[in-house]
Structure 1
Amino acid sequence: MHSVSTYQAARLVAGTVESYFAHHFATATSNGGQETAHQPHAPEIEAMIDTAFWASLRHEEGVSPKVTLAFLPPDKAGQPLIFGKRLRFTPDVLTKLAPAVERPGIHLGVWYDRDELYIWGTTREIPGNCLVLEVIEPGLLVVKHRRLDGFGKFVNVAILKGDQIKIVDEGTAKTPDCPFVVTSMLGFTLPSFWNDSMNILVQLAVSMRAHGRGGSLLVVPSGRDAWRDSIIQPMSYPIVPVFSRLADLLQQESDAASQNVWRGAVNLAVEAIGGLTSVDGATIINDQYEVLGFGAKIGRSETSERVEQIIITEPIVGNEPLIVHPAQTGGTRHLSAAQFVFDQRDAVALVASQDGRFTIFTWSTTDQMVHAHRVDSLLL
């Protein structure tokens, strides 16, 4: 790229992002993955981040731009909307185009010619492992990529906020007791699910965070009622019989022709459950994704002790585990969730804060204590 970046974080992170994509492109190829987009290199990554950062600080008619960029040529995009002429890739052009593509799922297509980036149009369909750069708010950018199976939240690679850089630590997925919902957020799945992976808890987490009211979701084992010992009775809103729409959909088999319809139905069912978590109290589902109730108040089991300490981690490079009192992880929701998992060690608790923080509580058999996984960086 001929231009010289003036956003220092762009230069610092470009090489790391290049290495990440090089590894994932190689892994996808060796696993027989579907055709992917162009592998990005550091100069292209640096130029995209630099331009997007300065665009994020501008305003168009008093509104800060929110825009998502996809790095690929038009022939790699599905049903692209191609402009009559190439547009220069500058902060000014990005700011002016942002209102047209700020709705979810629309990407501005960015490509290069003779070492210069340009904007060629828009698209909703991009291939697996395609580099995506999202401007979320002024000074806040997220580097991510589309999952190979094309379904669900994109996988975050790096988060840049001003001069702060957070690199997602993929090694977290290999640590003992790392819950599958976290490994899925990190972009890892079991080999048998390489081409058809979907973790519903990830989608539920996204839905919970999106409504902005904060909420708790408890996931308990199906066929067992021990969890009721940790819920103050009577429950505010029990569901009888259980709501099984999502569970029924996940048991259905769909061919390629009906895949989009099925995914749309799954999304609607997820949103319905996510909406319940906005009500005060906890929403309870079992591990088959049947809804058992919502608005539930958590109370310490009569046969348990009060939880006094937990371990807290964040899947970010350089993060060190901390052992703290559960009250230090947040407010009442967090303390109640930690107590619930301490009492019901085969359960999982997801907690969204109004400020966007998101924590997943599980029991660690290795550490013999509740483990709080801070994953808000993975949900941006």
Structure 2
Amino acid sequence: MKNAKPQDLAVLLQNKLKLTKSKFPVPELMVLEKLLDCLFYVSMCKEESDLVKVTVTLIDPANPDPHPPKKPVAERWSCVSFEQPIPMTTKALAKLSKAADPCSTTLAVYYQGEELYIWGMIDQAMHYQNFLNYESETDSEQPGLFQVSVNDIGTLNVLFNYELLATLKQDTLVQRYLDVLTIGPISKILKSNADFLKSAFREYLEQTYPEEAFRDWQDFLDNLWIQTFSRLLLKIQSYQHGGAILIHQDGADLDIKYKIHYKRLTLAMIAHAKASVDLYILEKRISADLKSRKQTLSKDLYLSGSATLHLKKGTADEISGAISFIASQTCVDGVVLFDENMVSNGFGAVLRSKRMPKKIYRSGTATATAKSLSPADPKHYGTRHRSMIAYCWNHAKSLGLVISQDGEIRVFSKIDDKLIMWENIKIQQYVKDKKHQNKLPY
């Protein structure tokens, strides 16, 4: 939706709340409009020279935890109340944002009549963020009715647990992000690039666990590859510098300022996949050992399990380190180059292709069906985008990604005789399923 306002997001939010099974009353539209208006204005403020970033949760102070689990996990959220509630104003939010980093904290807000107030702070938000960003394999329960995050100037994200309802970007309301990394031609290209990982894993499986069927592990390997790539894009976004990635098969039309050959990311993924199957097999053996020994475990299996678990964690940390190493290279002007095996071959590269298509096609779906394509003028875009468009147009097997300073990601690839562009790309682990819907505390 173009020319959208916070009021349009408020209508969408209220409609969602009405459909959600909740014992708590749905806020009046005026309350939601005031909430989103305040957050929209605070997104344009600065506090101590920094743009404001903050997340708020609508949660009732009279009953913040209506259905606590019998055995809560150690890292479960908790609310800390202020001695006196604070009227929710742009100034108050901006001031409190310095003490409420969205990576660790959310602000608890509620309403009385049509007036909003901030009544406390909620901790342990890092576990939620880690799951969204593929840094954790386990999700965490979320409090309240919904969360609203301020991530950039004029940008609001509304989330229900792990479901992204919509994003307001200045005057554009985005209700659907394209899952091009798991569906459609871009996903097909990326998964075919995982053949190096699959080949190494298949060989290890045949030599070490011949009883295991490789086909049972293919989805795991595809997800590992795609999630690692998603994490790389998220890390690049976090620098707010902008950057570009080119996955190519030849070195033509490239001027590489800093040539390197860095394959640790791929090797770390292979090591992590091996450690994962090791741990899986060992857990099956431990389960069988416990049954045969009547709930006792042999010392050798215990020590082997501890060592394997430690190894898997180490390989996960290695992947994180390699991602950070590569992502930081995008802060140098130019393109980061990958071959099809996710091996980095240089950064600060200049794309020399000049011949441009007369028009490109913007895809409204991940699958880029004919009906979803709309023509666009490549001259409408900036230098970084145009150089990527020209290169992908002249090198059909290339895949280009441009990350703007505001975090917008656009993907380019030549499909048949068309240069297609995808935007509003889904890279976080937003989930919409019954498993998470049933976890809603209200």
Alignment check: 8 A CA contact 1:360 1:375 kept: no
Residue 381 of structure 2 aligns with which residue? 329
Residue 276 of structure 1 aligns with which residue? 329
Residue 105 of structure 2 aligns with which residue? 107
SS of the aligned residue for 1:228 comes to coil
Q: 1:248 aligns with which of 267, 271, 280?
A: 267
Alignment check: 8 A CA contact 1:310 1:369 kept: yes
Alignment check: 8 A CA contact 1:10 1:50 kept: no
Residue 205 of structure 1 aligns with which residue? 233
Relative contact order higher in (CA < 8 Å, ≥ 6 apart): 2
Residue 363 of structure 1 aligns with which residue? 414
Show the 5 A alignment for 1:116-195. 119=120, 121-123=122-124, 124-126=126-128, 127=139, 130=142, 131-137=146-152, 139-144=154-159, 156-161=164-169, 164-169=172-177, 177=185, 179=187, 192=219
Alignment check: 8 A CA contact 2:47 2:98 kept: no
Distance 1:231 1:10, change over 3 A: closer
One-letter code aligned to 1:134: S
Q: How far apart are residue 48 of structure 1 and its match?
A: 6.3
Q: TM-score, normalised by structure 1?
A: 0.66
Distance 1:114 1:295, change over 3 A: closer
One-letter code aligned to 2:344: V
Q: How far apart are residue 288 of structure 1 and its match?
A: 2.5
The count of corresponding residues between Structure 1 and Structure 2 is 328
Q: How far apart are residue 284 of structure 1 and its match?
A: 0.8
Residue 396 of structure 2 aligns with which residue? 345
Percent sequence identity over aligned pairs:
17
SS of the aligned residue for 1:216 comes to strand
Moved more, 43-52 or 266-275: 43-52
Q: Bigger radius of gyration, 1 or 2?
A: 2
CA RMSD of aligned residues (A): 4.8
Quick one: distance in 2 between partners of 1:213 and 1:109? Answer: 28
Q: How far apart are residue 193 of structure 1 and its match?
A: 5.1
Alignment check: 8 A CA contact 1:156 1:378 kept: no
Alignment check: 8 A CA contact 1:218 1:284 kept: yes
Quick one: distance in 2 between partners of 1:260 and 1:146? Answer: 27
Q: Deviations over 1:50-98 (max 9, x none)?
A: 4254145356966664212356856578343541568758524644532
Alignment check: 8 A CA contact 1:327 1:334 kept: no
**Gap regions ≥5 residues in structure 2:** 129-138, 192-216, 280-307, 429-442
Note if 1:230 corresponds to 2:253.
yes
Q: 1:67 aligns with which of 54, 58, 63?
A: 54
Quick one: distance in 2 between partners of 1:195 and 1:86? Answer: 50
Q: 1:51 aligns with which of 10, 35, 40?
A: 35
Residue 11 of structure 2 aligns with which residue? 12
SS of the aligned residue for 1:307 comes to coil
Distance 1:15 1:257, change over 3 A: farther
Distance 1:20 1:369, change over 3 A: farther
Distance 1:156 1:347, change over 3 A: farther
Alignment check: 8 A CA contact 2:177 2:425 kept: no
SS of the aligned residue for 2:331 comes to coil
Distance 1:120 1:100, change over 3 A: closer
Quick one: distance in 2 between partners of 1:329 and 1:309? Answer: 12
Q: TM-score, normalised by structure 2?
A: 0.58
Q: How far apart are residue 350 of structure 1 and its match?
A: 0.9
Q: Which structure dedicates a bigger proportion of its chain to helix? A: 2
Q: 2:424 aligns with which of 365, 372, 375?
A: 375
SS of the aligned residue for 1:57 comes to helix
Alignment check: 8 A CA contact 1:204 1:271 kept: yes
Q: How far apart are residue 328 of structure 1 and its match?
A: 2.4
Residue 83 of structure 1 aligns with which residue? 80
Q: How far apart are residue 306 of structure 1 and its match?
A: 4.7
Q: Deviations over 1:224-251 (max 9, x none)?
A: xx5212324xx32221xx2122112211
SS of the aligned residue for 1:125 comes to helix
Alignment check: 8 A CA contact 2:47 2:95 kept: no
SS of the aligned residue for 2:167 comes to strand
Quick one: distance in 2 between partners of 1:265 and 1:132? Answer: 32
Moved more, 83-92 or 274-283: 83-92
